[in-house]
């Protein structure tokens, strides 16, 4: 029930992918965000004195008290038989990985209800960029009107996914699908052939169903009772000051405390809103943005944004980030990220695609941004065409 929290995985909302939906010759730049978040009750493993412990690897051939094996001495093996492994290196994996592509090419539109429920793996929301607002809305409206979903494959984080692009309520969702050989059919499982139930039995079950029938479900019926019990127990013990320990030394991974974790919902809302704000007032039907000189004014606008607070111009622009690095040296009023608000820093970190940003404190964000900017390679990945 309680889960392990010993591995300090950076969690938090960030665009999982940014790229382009191609629809005929129309290209729609979008960002992909998860549509779900995990609420976990996680526990750390502590020493008897209350010190958070670290997980490490050791080689049983050298005994249980042998040295820890550092990362550079760990290799990845695929077991072919007992005691025999094929070693696969990082380079080999990388060579096998699909080429990075920034494209979801919609070549097939299928009736919405033809995709079996068992195929759906994970839902994501897609948000438009300012320039793609109109094309995004057009695709969403068309899919809703035709009751069809777009099917494509695309590459995210070194893995190829089958994806269904579904429109609902004016928003586009990208739902990854399981490949056909990952989904079992009743026949694969060996379920017995259906028998014709007696009409009387069917009627009886329909009557029982009627008694439990409601048009909607109350969110309280979907609450995680186990999570709530666990949280209540922790609160109760805290109040009674029972089994509460304060470790002598802070864990390095624990951060400096109070690191703000920005909620996924807020990030999505902002992302949708900013595309809209930027699109308002200007008709920008160009399907694909090219890194041209025209982008310069917008890059400047973006970089003065931290001073203006939440009304950021727009949070993505393949060329803007590179231009921005140059721009920041010519614009004295924004050259020092250390003077920015945490939110502005977070937004920029997101733009620069800095991993683990949601877990970073303000000084950490500043450091990571400076590092990335000096490398000047932030936009490299995001360039399209």
Partner 1 sequence: MPARAMYKAELSLGDVVIPVKLYSAVEDRGVHFRLLHQEDGVPLQQRMTDPQSGEVVALDRALRGYATESGEYVVLTSQDQERLQPKPTRTMEVVRIIPAERLGHQWYVRPYYLGPDGNPDDYFALVEALASEGGNPEQSVEAIVRWVMRKKEYIGALRAHRGYLLLLTLRHTGEVIEAKQLPVPEGRDLDPKEQRMAAQLVEMLAGPFEPDAFKDEYRQRLESFIAEKAAGGAIDVSHVPRREVKAAPSLAEVLEASVKQERSRKVA
Site for partner 1 in 319-338 (CB under 8 A): none
- The answer to whether 166 contacts partner 1 (rule: CB under 8 A) is yes
C-beta of 235 vs 335, nearer to partner 1: 235
Residues 338 and 348: beta-carbon distance below 8 Å: no
Decide the pairing of beta strands 148-156 and 159-168: antiparallel
CB 271 within 8 A of CB 127: yes
Identify the residue among 54, 307, 308, 333 touching partner 1 (CB under 8 A). Answer: 54
**C-alpha separations of 370 from 10, 243, 321, 357 in Å:** 20, 42, 13, 13
Q: How many residues make contact with partner 1 (CB under 8 A)?
A: 189
Q: Which residues in 345-374 contact partner 1 (CB under 8 A)?
A: none
Token pair 């005929």 is found at 24
Candidate list 14, 15, 128, 368; residue touching partner 1; CB under 8 A: 128
Question: Nearest 10 degrees: CA dihedral of 169, 174, 178, 184?
Answer: 0
Q: Which of 86, 90, 297, 374 binds partner 1 (CB under 8 A)?
A: 86
**Nearest distance from C-beta of residue 57 to partner 1, angstroms:** 4
236-275 residues in contact with partner 1 (CB under 8 A) are: 237-238, 243-252, 254, 257-258, 264-265, 268-269, 272-273, 275
Give least dist CB 374 to partner 1, A. 28
Tokens 């009736």, residue located: 111
CB 318 within 8 A of CB 383: yes
Cα(20)–Cα(347) distance, integer angstroms: 21
* Nearest distance, CB of residue 366 and partner 1, angstroms: 23
Q: Does 116 bind partner 1 (CB under 8 A)?
A: yes
CB of 32 vs partner 1, minimal distance in Å = 13
Judged by CB under 8 A, which stretch of 56-64, 331-339, 351-359, 360-368 contacts partner 1? 56-64
Of the pair 37, 370, the CB lying nearest partner 1 is at 37
Least distance between partner 1 and beta carbon 378 (Å) = 20
Tell me how crowded residue 104 is: count the other CB atoms within 10 A of its CB. Answer: 25
- Please, what is the minimum distance in Å from the beta carbon of residue 174 to partner 1? 11
Q: Which of 12, 14, 18, 20 binds partner 1 (CB under 8 A)?
A: 20
Query: Rounded to an integer, what distance in angstroms lies between the CA atom of residue 94 and that of residue 91?
Result: 5
d(CA 257, CA 252): 11
315, burial (CB in 10 Å: exposed 0-12, middle 13-18, buried 19+): buried
């Amino acid at each position: 029930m309680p889960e392990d929290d010993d591995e300090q995985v950076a969690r938090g909302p960030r665009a999982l992918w940014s790229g382009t939906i191609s629809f005929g010759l129309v290209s729609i730049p979008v960002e992909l965000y998860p549509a779900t978040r995990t609420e976990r009750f996680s526990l750390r493993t502590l020493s008897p004195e209350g010190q958070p412990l670290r997980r490490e690897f050791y080689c049983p051939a050298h005994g249980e008290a042998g040295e820890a094996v550092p990362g550079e001495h760990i290799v990845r093996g695929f077991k072919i038989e007992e005691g025999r492994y094929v070693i696969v290196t990082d380079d080999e994996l990388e060579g096998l990985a699909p080429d990075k592509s920034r494209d979801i090419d919609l070549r097939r539109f299928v009736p919405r209800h033809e995709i079996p429920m068992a195929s759906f793996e994970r839902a994501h929301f897609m948000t438009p960029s300012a320039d793609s607002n109109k094309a995004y809305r057009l695709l969403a409206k068309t899919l809703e009107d035709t009751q069809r979903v777009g099917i494509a494959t695309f590459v995210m984080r070194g893995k190829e996914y089958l994806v269904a692009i579904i429109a609902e309520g004016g928003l586009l969702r990208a739902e990854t699908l399981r490949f056909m050989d990952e989904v079992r059919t009743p026949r694969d499982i060996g379920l017995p052939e259906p028998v014709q139930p007696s009409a009387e039995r069917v009627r009886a079950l329909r009557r029982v169903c009627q008694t439990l029938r409601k048009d909607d479900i109350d969110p309280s019926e979907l609450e995680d009772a186990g999570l709530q019990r666990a949280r209540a127990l922790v609160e109760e013990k805290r109040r009674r000051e029972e089994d509460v320990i304060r470790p002598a030394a802070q864990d390095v991974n624990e951060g400096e405390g109070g690191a703000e974790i920005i909620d996924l919902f807020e990030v999505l809302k902002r992302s949708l809103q900013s595309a809209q704000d930027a699109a308002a007032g200007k008709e920008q039907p160009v399907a694909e943005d090219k890194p041209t000189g025209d982008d310069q004014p917008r890059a400047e606008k973006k970089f003065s944004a931290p001073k203006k607070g939440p009304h950021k111009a727009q949070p993505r622009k393949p060329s803007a980030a590179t231009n921005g690095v140059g721009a920041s040296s010519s614009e004295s009023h924004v050259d020092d990220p250390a003077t920015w608000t945490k939110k502005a820093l977070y937004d920029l970190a997101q733009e620069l695609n800095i991993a683990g940003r949601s877990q970073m404190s303000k000084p950490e964000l500043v450091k990571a941004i400076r590092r990335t900017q000096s490398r000047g390679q932030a936009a490299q990945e995001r360039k399209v065409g």
